[in-house]
Structures are given as C-alpha cells and as structure tokens.
Amino acid sequence: MAEYSWPRRGTTSLIDTEQTRIDGVAKASGAAKYSCDINPKGTLVARAMGCPHAHCKIKSIDISLAKDVPGVVLVSPAKAIGDEIQWQGDIIAYVAAETEGAAAEGVAAITVEYEMLDVFVDDQHLAAAEAADRTGKPLSNVQLVNEPGDDEDEEAFEEAEIQRLLEASDVVVEGNYGINVITHMCMEPHGSTCEWNGDQLTAHLSTQNVSGTAGQFADPLGITASDVTVHCDFIGGGFGSKFAADSWGVACAELARQTGRPVRLMLDRDIELKTAGNRPSGFIKVKIGADKNGVVQVWDSQQWGTSGASGGGVSQGVVPYVFDPENRRRTATSIATNAGPQRAWRAPNHPQAAAITHTAYDDVAAALGIDSYDVFLRNLDSVSNDKADVYRAQMERAAELMQWKSKWHAHGKGEKKGSVVTGLGMGIHTWGGGGHNSTCRITIHPDGGVETALGSQDLGTGTRTVIGIVVAETFGLPLDAVNVKIGSSSYPASGPSGGSTTVAGVSESNRRAAQDALAQLNELVAAKLGVGAADLVAKEGRIQASGDASKSLSWKEACALLGMTPLEVNGEFRRGEPSSLSSSQVAGVQMAEVAVDLDTGIVKPLKFVAVQDMGLIINRKTAASQIYGAVIMGIAYSIFEERIMDLQTGAFLNAELADYRLPRLGDIGEIVVDLWEPDSEYERGVVGLGEPPVISPGAAISNAVANATGVRVPVLPLTPQRVLDALGSA
C-alpha cells in the first residue's frame, strides 16, 4: 500500500494558502438552495404546533375544526392522550396545507385539553431545585496526592485533607460563577422538504450528517435506508444541533407519504429554540487554595446545572478546565427542569467549563495582586494534556499581539476616563479534533475532468473548498478544475460534522484517493514517456518527469491515456487509524480587552486576540473565518445571549429574534486572528478547528471585566443588569 503524505511545506500551490470559497458566489447571490428553497411542484407547507405549557398531560386533542380550515390538507397529531409534556414548545401536532397561512390557521384551530402539572425551571438556585425534588444524586470525583490509611473513612479523610490543603495555602479564593443556557440560534431553522417517488424517499434535510440520517428516516417509516436519499447542499448553521432526522423530519416524510405531495416543514423560530436543542447551564461554587505565586494547590468545587427534563448540566470531567491540580475535589448535581433537551453545542461542555473555572483562576491573580498572565503561565505545569509548551509559546504570541504587558494594570486599578474603565483577561483551551470516518470516490475522466464525491456536508465552514484544494493540489491542477460533489447520501459515506473532525476526515480520504489515482495514471504516463512512474510529478496542469521537463504530458493528454473508461478510485479513512496525514489535539490561547461603562454596566469588547493551532492548515482563509466566527459567537454568549425562562409558567420568554439579544458588528471590536502553524504543526498533519476557538471567550471576557472593574460579575452573559448588580450600584 502506498505511503500517504502531504507535500513538503513551501512546495504547495493551494494547501496552506488563502483560497476563496468555491461556493461563495452561489451563497452570496442566492443561487445556493437551502432545504426550504427546495420547492417541487405541488409542495405543501407544514407547520408544527408547539405545546403552550411547560409541564402537563394531554387530556384530549380535537383536530376536527383544523381539518375544516380552507386549504388544510392533513392534520396529524404527534402526541397521544395521556402523554406527558416536559417543556413548552414540544410538538403536539402537524398541519400540512396549501399555504403557510392556511397551515397557521389550521394549527390555531386545534383544540387540546391539558392537565397542568407542577413546573420547575430554576437552574440557578440549587437549594430551590433540592426543595422541589428536582436534583439528581450529587456525583463526586476526588483526586488527592495523599491517600487515606487502611482503616480511615475515605470521605472523612478527603474532607480533612482538602481542609488541610486549603489552610496550608497562602491564599484561598472563594467564588461563585455561572453561565446560562443558550440556544444554537441557527440562521436556518431545523427542517426539510420531503418527496416520494413510489416508495423511494428523498429528504432535503438541513443536516450536519448527510451520510448518517437516511436510516433514521427509514426505520420509523418502515422502509430501509436504501430507499432513502438525504440531500443537503447548503445549511444555514447547525453548531451541533442538526445530527438527526428528528421527529419533525420523519413527520414531514410521513405527511408527504400520506398526502401524496411533497411537503416542506421548517420549524418556526420559537419552536426551534424551545425544542431543537440548547447548551446546558453551569453554576459553580469554588474554593481554591494557591501559593503566593498563584500556583493552585487545591481545588474544591460544587457545581450544578441543567440540560432539560432529564437533568444534566456541564460535565464535571472538564472542571477545572485544562488545569488539573494534583489535589482536587469536584461535585456535580444535575437539575431536571421543564425545558427542552440539550444538544451538542460547538465544543460541548468546554466553553461553560472555561467560563466557570478560568474565572476562578483569574480571581487568584486578583486576590494576590499579580498579573493574570503570570498566574495562567505558572499553572501550566498542571495542564491535563501534553501541550504546556504550546500554551507557553502561544501565550507569548498572544501577549505580543495584545500588548498585554504594556496595557496591564492590577484588577480594578486602571485609569478611569469619565465613567469608563478598561481591562484585560485571558483563557486557554483544549480540543481533540482528528479525522472522522470518511470514504470518497475520485473519478478522472478521459477528457481530463476530475470529480470527487462523498456524503459530507459544508456547514459554512468551507469543507467543499477544502476538499477541492486537497484534490487539486494532489493532481497539480487549479482549484476550479475539480468538481466537488458533497451533500448527498448516495455518495460514499463520510462522517457527521461534529467534534471538529470534518477537515481531517475529508482530507484523509481525498488525499489518499487522489494519491492512489495519480499513481495509476502515472503508470500509463510513465509507459508513454518512457520514464519511471516514481519519477513523475503532477504540477501546473502537467505530469512531467522530475528531472527532465521536456518529458511531459498535459493533464488532458495524460487522461486521454485512460481510453474509454473513467478511472475511479476510492479513498478511505477510519477514525483513530495511525496516519501521517492527520492527528488530533489542539491548544489555543485567547485574550480580551474590554471597556466597561461603570454608570450603565455596558461592556464593550475593544480587542480580541485568538492564537490557535490546528495542525496543517489546508485553507488559511476559511480557517481564519472559522476563528472570527467563533470569537463573535463567544462574544455573543459572554455578553448578550441567554435563554430566559418564566419561573411561574416555564415559558421560554425570549424565544424569538426580537427578544433574544445578539451582538451586531459594531459590538464586536477588533479581532486579531493568529493561525499558529510552526513547522511542527504542519508536520503533524490536519487536525480541525471548528470548535476550539469558541471555548475561551467567556473566560477571557469575564476576566477582562473583572480586571477593568475590580469586581467579579459572577454569571454570564455580562448584561448591564448583572454588571450593575455586581458593582452594587443598581
């Protein structure tokens, strides 16, 4: 088997350069078709009816009036009598109609009787959850250097040992921190357009999982995955919430089957936000003991949070985040709330963990009056991965870009201009990445045409362009010479886009297939030119002998040697398989500079520095875009967005864009992206970076606000209300 490898650094014409997206014009011009743009003749519009109550039982559902609404074609209950509803917005029924208006009127004409049950949605107050009997058994995890004696009670020893370590510390910091639930707020809501041809289903699904959702449709519909084709050429955001066909996707297919017409069912924004996923909350009480240099000696925390009706919250496995002091105890309690279920949200658990623990580390710096940078630096010996040196180098780079040292002032000791103060904060992060399973089929046509097909998807991250770059680079062709076909489950299977695994996965399969295909083509070319196949190189649209440029064929001439039949070569990569093309694990350092108006509590990001490694970079332009996007999303959850629940009724009060606060361009400040790629990074192959840069903003911004004001605003997002409350001026 061939040895797969990337071209040597500096010899590439596309890889590691800046390439504009190959689908950019289609997206910007509106030519790109999203699920709800698919409009086959006769398409019906379906709408979901969400339950208005957060906790109830269904006593009756009457659809007779809805069926009589002019234009309504089919009304289909999604729940049965006696079903218990656990959150507002859970779907009770669907209506398919000739027009959107008729569907809405149909939904309004459905009458449901409910038996109301007790509602609990307060995830911020552990005592309230305990009183309401909504907590799970607290889970503890303890790591101590010293061990109990044989006859000692383990828990008593742990408690005594933690107390001893705290007392032995030069400084003990106690704090409360938290971060609220947010939603994914995908620009394009969940949904699909489904059409049947006989017993064959085509689902135009907004999905991060083109190759993995056919079976999810098939099973409940009583067909097999081979009868289903899932299509998704373009998707308006998923962020971890769109891996499944979902009950509403299956319902859309069922409505289409029963009506004999294509059906489009996109969730309304409010149902989308209530039902289609969110990011769990995390609240924590921390006691941290450190030496006089700020090196943490002992960590003791109690955390709680919610992922919805089944409990959950932020995983304690990442607490404290990245840093893992030798002595630590952590306890986590899950709270069951009448709220929609969580879904993976860009780097699950990590952003929350960073926000509720790196803030505590920063408070150590504040308590000791030392530079936060030094506290992060001095604790790097305890990081849970093997990246301490990378963090050191990245911190140095970030500090240089931020001019950290010259801007630094002790917490709360900066200059005040009018009512405005400024401050600095930082955070560090870690993520796995590495390639997912991916297969692809590269076809070289005798006329020189090149295509690659795989059941992957481009979430807006630039996957399509990445694939094109890998294949074009390998064949020595320009980017536009490669026809990249993704977005259909009829293509060779490729993994779901989650966990920052896509770029590594699809570059693996495509580089392998392309190298193998080129080797086969080279055999023919070698015979024709009378040189050894191993001596041939493909570049600038030609295949030529490396020593003798006079011996060469154009790409087209070379392909003509294939005769009548195209050359098809498959490439395959299995996750975890050792490979020189990809690896896993990244670090990353981020720094924020903010201004705070002490009179209004408004926080303005001034400058944000993101230094990020990601192994070998296929496309520097889309890589940078990912980081800009991640930082903006991070600023959003740090300062603006949160799910707001009515404690009385469990209603999700701000479940529409007019009330769900998000930043605009002017609220972002300057973002400086540094693609950290020394040769060692290039050498270790592709890793992926969709998630890591969204992790640290909460910590960095909260720390910057604490540095500016001298006061910790404990809970994110840092709204004017919370800032003023913390300042004591409200």
Partner 1 sequence: MKAFEYAAPRRESELAGLFSGRPGATAVLAGGTDLVGLMKKMIVAPDRVVNIKEIASLYGISADSAGVTVGAVTRLDEMLDSADLDAFPAVKQAIRGINSMQLQSQGTIGGELCQRPRCWYFRNGCGLPTELGRMVERGDNRYHAIFGNRGPAKYVSASRIAPALVALGASVRIVGPASGEAVEGPPKNGAPVAQDGNALGEAIMPLADFFVTPRAPHQGETVLDPDQIVTHIHIPRDEQIASATYEVRQSEGPEYPLAAAAAALRIEAGVVTEARIVLGQVAPVPWVSEAAAAAIVGQAVTPESARAAGEAAVARATPLSQNRYKVQLARVSVERAILQAAGLETGGF
CB of 171 or CB of 644, closer to partner 1: 644
- Determine the interface stretch with partner 1 among 219-227, 512-520, 559-567, 641-649 (rule: CB under 8 A): 641-649
Candidates 32, 104, 377, 560; binder of partner 1 (CB under 8 A) is: 104
Kindly state whether residue 320 participates in binding partner 1, applying the rule CB under 8 A.
Answer: no
Distances (CA, A) of 42 to 99, 195, 288, 469, 636: 11, 10, 64, 40, 40
Q: Which two tokens stand for residue 185?
A: 């707020």
Residues in a beta bridge with 590: 427, 610
Collect all residues with Cβ–Cβ distance below 8 Å to 77 and sequence separation of at least 6: 61, 63, 92, 93
* H helix or E strand, kind and range, residue 625: helix 620-635
Instruction: Closer to partner 1 by CB, 127 or 658: give it.
Output: 658
Backbone angles phi, psi at 49, to 5 degrees: -105, 125
Q: Between residues 487 and 663, which has the closer beta carbon with respect to partner 1?
A: 663
User: How far is 351 from 630, CA to CA, in rounded Å?
Assistant: 11
- Does the footprint of partner 1 cover residue 116 (CB under 8 A)? no
**For residues 90 and 458, which CB has a smaller minimum distance to partner 1 in the complex?**
90
* Distance of closest approach, residue 95 Cβ to partner 1, in angstroms: 14
**677 touches 17 (CB < 8 A):** no
Q: Give DSSP secondary structure letters for 514-528.
A: HHHHHHHHHHHHHHH
Q: Which stretch binds partner 1 (CB under 8 A): 451-459, 462-470, 623-631, 664-672?
A: 664-672
**Is 645:114 a contact under the CB 8 Å cutoff?**
no
Q: Which is nearer to partner 1, 200 or 419 (CB)?
A: 419
Beta strand 482-485 pairing with 450-453: parallel
Please, what is the minimum distance in Å from the beta carbon of residue 689 to partner 1? Answer: 27
Residue with smaller CB distance to partner 1, 2 or 665: 665
CB 633 within 8 A of CB 617: no
Query: Which run of H or E residues covers position 77?
Result: strand 72-77
Distances (CA, A) of 594 to 104, 106, 311: 45, 50, 35
Q: Does 606 bind partner 1 (CB under 8 A)?
A: no
Q: How many residues belong to the chain? A: 730
Contact track, partner 1, 557-596, x by CB under 8 A? --------------------------------------x-
Tell how strand 602-613 and strand 589-597 pair up: antiparallel
- Of 20, 140, 200, 729, which one interacts with partner 1 (CB under 8 A)? 729
Asked whether the beta carbons of 23 and 460 are under 8 A apart, the reply is no
Could you count the other beta carbons within 10 Å of the beta carbon of residue 11? Answer: 12
Helix (H) or strand (E) holding 698: helix 697-709
Of 143-151, 237-245, 644-652, 708-716, which segment contacts partner 1 by CB under 8 A?
644-652
Cα separation of 207 and 195, whole Å? 17
| Least CB distance to partner 1 at residue 723 (A) | 9
In terms of CB distance, is 55 or 512 closer to partner 1? 55
Of 451-459, 561-569, 608-616, 640-648: span binding partner 1 (CB under 8 A): 640-648
Pick the closer one to partner 1 by CB: 270 or 516.
270
Among 144, 295, 377, 420, binds partner 1 (CB under 8 A): 420
Amino acid at 414: G
The piece of 443-451, 482-490, 559-567, 647-655 that touches partner 1 (CB under 8 A) is 647-655
Stretch touching partner 1 by CB under 8 A, among 445-453, 494-502, 537-545, 646-654: 646-654
- Please, which residue, 118 or 447, has the CB nearer to partner 1? 118
- Does 711 bind partner 1 (CB under 8 A)? Our answer is no
Return the closest-CA partner of residue 239 out of 284, 184, 287, 188.
184
Asked if 724 is part of the footprint of partner 1 (rule: CB under 8 A), the reply reads yes
Counting contacts by CB under 8 A, is residue 662 touching partner 1?
yes
Nearer to partner 1, 81 or 647 (CB): 647
Q: Which is nearer to partner 1, 250 or 723 (CB)?
A: 723
Contact between 719 and partner 1 by CB under 8 A: the answer reads yes
Closest approach of partner 1 to the CB of residue 600, in Å: 5
- Least distance between partner 1 and beta carbon 658 (Å): 8
Q: How far is the CB of 572 from partner 1 (least distance, A)?
A: 47
When the beta carbons of 70 and 478 are compared against partner 1, the nearer one is 70
Residue 112: in which H helix or E strand, if any?
strand 111-116
Q: Rounded to the nearest 10 degrees, what angle do helices 214-221 and 246-259 cross at? A: 60
Nearer to partner 1, 50 or 505 (CB): 50
Asked if residue 654 binds partner 1 (CB under 8 A), the reply is yes
Given the complex with partner 1, which of 602 and 675 has the nearer CB atom? 602
Determine, following the binding rule CB under 8 A, whether residue 599 of this chain makes contact with partner 1. yes
29: left (phi over 0), alpha (psi -120 to 50) or beta: alpha
- Tell me: does residue 646 bind partner 1 (CB under 8 A): yes
Contact 74, 88 (CB under 8 A): no
CA 374/CA 330 separation, integer angstroms = 25
Query: Whole-angstrom Cα distance, residue 537 to residue 545?
Result: 6
How many CB atoms sit inside 10 A of residue 80's CB?
8
For residue 581, report the phi and psi dihedrals to the nearest 5 degrees: -85, -25
Which residue type is seen at 302? Q
- Beta carbon nearer to partner 1, 62 or 599: 599
Residue ranges in 666-685 that form contacts with partner 1 under rule CB under 8 A? 666-667
Q: Does position 101 bind partner 1 by CB under 8 A?
A: yes
Q: Are 364 and 173 in contact (CB under 8 A)?
A: yes
Contacting residue, 33, 164, 528, 661, with partner 1 by CB under 8 A: 661
Burial class of residue 193, CB neighbours in 10 A (0-12, 13-18, 19+): buried
In sequence order, which residues have a C-beta less than 8 Å from that of residue 222 and are 6 or more positions away?
A: none
Select from 7, 52, 148, 449 the one that contacts partner 1 (CB under 8 A): 52
Q: How far is CA 75 from CA 48, 71, 78, in A?
A: 10, 11, 10
Position 283 contacts partner 1 (CB under 8 A): no
Q: Of the two residues 398 and 713, which places its CB atom closer to partner 1 in the complex?
A: 713
Q: Is 648 an interacting residue with respect to partner 1 (CB under 8 A)?
A: yes
Q: Does 665 bind partner 1 (CB under 8 A)?
A: yes
Binding window for partner 1 (CB under 8 A); candidates: 38-46, 258-266, 376-384, 636-644: 636-644
Euclidean distance between CA atoms 186 and 240, whole angstroms: 10
**Which residue in the set 27, 164, 445, 604 belongs to the binding site for partner 1 (CB under 8 A)?**
604
Candidates 232, 256, 651, 706; binder of partner 1 (CB under 8 A) is: 651
663 binds partner 1 (CB under 8 A): yes
418 in contact with partner 1 (CB under 8 A): yes
Stretch of residues binding partner 1 (CB under 8 A), selected from 209-217, 319-327, 614-622, 648-656: 648-656
Rounded to a whole number of angstroms, the minimum distance from the CB of residue 505 to partner 1 is 37
Q: Order of strands, edge to edge, in the sheet holding 139-143?
A: 139-143, 327-334, 296-305, 282-290, 171-179, 715-716
Closest approach, Cβ 8 to partner 1, in A, equals: 47
Dihedral pair phi/psi, residue 307, rounded to 5°: -115, 10
C-alpha span between 555 and 72 (Å, rounded): 58
Residues that bind partner 1 (CB under 8 A): 52, 70, 101, 104-105, 108, 418-420, 595, 597, 599-602, 604, 639-640, 644-649, 651, 653-654, 656, 658-659, 661-667, 719-721, 724-725, 729-730
